[in-house]
């Protein structure tokens, strides 16, 4: 077994074709199979779920299997070790890969601001009057320790963006950050008061409120707050791979991106209820109502154009390239591969 829990013998598969795929945006199978990797079972990763359930992978000639990585960091490790073809996670993951000699490549952005930077505080702390981030950081746990903030994984999407907010406010060194994994363990850590704040998305906020475990402390996904601290559109989450995987079979990656582009356009033209009906098998750890709320929120932040420009990349740079991430600055050309989505857009106009 490897560190990520896959055996070396379980070779990755995804069926894609040869011949003109990048030029036409269409790629047909030549009996190649592989996997796409998503971190945890929440709607933010819905484009992969829809591409599978709506048959877009199959129509692109792909025999695709979706694998839950367990966190953004584990997803990155799976892609880096060639145990997966395309991952979905924070854009810092391919940047981290590039910084470590793996030449990560961003294939297709999925949003324009974070949808998972909601600070969910324990309800009992809120009832004690801790209703701001400043009040939280002034409070101490019964043993005298700093407040504990939980994210899915250290270095993952919600950690990157929530820590930037805290740094900007001068509060980051007044809390302890820990990673608590998937939906069940994240909610469990809040329920059992092992953590004081959980940073996540709308579906987990809704479920924690319904169960009486938590409530909203600070909404880093709100457009007004986002623009105040970030300044505008930024690619936050994206489908990514490594250059060596592209080099092995460019038409295969072209087929992937085409299927994922089509999934994004399907989401754009369908209601939250219809989207939920499509992805329900993948998001069963949270309630239908919570998922509908998150799917609705995701529409407000989604990138249905699939284009990263210099201005949005520059805005993101102040968040990506800082001490917390440890990522050395990269240019857009060094990490973004725009040709595949350009071909997909041509074949399937949005």
Q: Record the tokens describing residue 138, joined without a space.
A: 């002034």
Average pLDDT, the chain: 89
Q: Are the beta carbons of 283 and 298 closer than 8 angstroms?
A: no
User: Lowest-pLDDT range, 33-42, 122-131, 158-167, 318-327?
Assistant: 33-42
- Phi, psi angles (nearest 5°) of residue 186: -65, -50
Query: What pTM does this model have?
Result: 0.82
Q: What is the pLDDT of residues 239-285, one digit of tens each?
A: 999 999 999 999 999 999 999 999 999 999 999 999 999 999 999 87
If you search the block for the tokens 């979905």, which residue do you land on?
88
Q: pLDDT at residue 220 above 80?
A: yes
The confidence score (pLDDT) of residue 30 equals: 52
């Amino acid at each position: 077994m490897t560190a990520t829990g896959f055996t070396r013998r379980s070779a990755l598969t995804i069926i894609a074709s040869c011949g003109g795929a990048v030029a036409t945006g269409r790629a047909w199978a030549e009996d190649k199979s592989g996997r796409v990797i998503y971190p945890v079972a929440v709607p933010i990763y819905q484009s992969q779920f829809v591409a599978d359930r709506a048959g877009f992978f199959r129509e692109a000639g792909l025999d695709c299997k979706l694998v839950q990585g367990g966190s953004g960091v584990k997803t990155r490790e799976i892609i880096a070790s060639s145990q997966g073809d395309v991952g979905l996670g924070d854009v810092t993951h391919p940047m981290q890969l590039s910084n470590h000699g793996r030449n990560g490549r961003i294939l297709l952005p999925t949003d324009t601001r974070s949808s998972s930077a909601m600070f969910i505080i324990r309800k009992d702390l809120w009832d004690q009057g801790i209703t701001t981030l400043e009040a939280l950081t002034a409070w101490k746990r019964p043993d005298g320790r700093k407040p504990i903030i939980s994210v899915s994984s250290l270095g993952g999407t919600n950690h990157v963006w929530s820590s930037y907010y805290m740094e900007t406010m001068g509060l980051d060194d007044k809390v302890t950050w820990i990673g608590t994994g998937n939906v069940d363990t994240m909610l469990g850590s809040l329920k059992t008061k092992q953590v004081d704040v959980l940073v996540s998305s709308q579906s987990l906020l809704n479920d924690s409120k319904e169960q009486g475990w938590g409530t909203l402390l600070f909404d880093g996904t709100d457009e007004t707050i986002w623009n105040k601290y970030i300044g505008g559109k930024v690619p936050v989450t994206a489908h990514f791979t490594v250059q060596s995987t592209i080099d092995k079979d460019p038409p295969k990656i072209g087929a992937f991106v085409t299927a994922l582009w089509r999934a994004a356009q399907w989401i754009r033209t369908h209601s939250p209820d219809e989207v939920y009906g499509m992805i329900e098998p993948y998001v069963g750890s949270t309630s239908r109502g919570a998922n509908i709320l998150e799917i609705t929120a995701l529409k407000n932040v989604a990138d249905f154009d699939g284009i990263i420009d210099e201005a949005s990349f520059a805005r993101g740079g102040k968040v990506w390239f800082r001490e917390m991430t440890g990522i050395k600055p990269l240019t857009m050309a060094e990490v973004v591969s725009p040709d595949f989505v350009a071909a997909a857009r041509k074949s399937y106009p949005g």
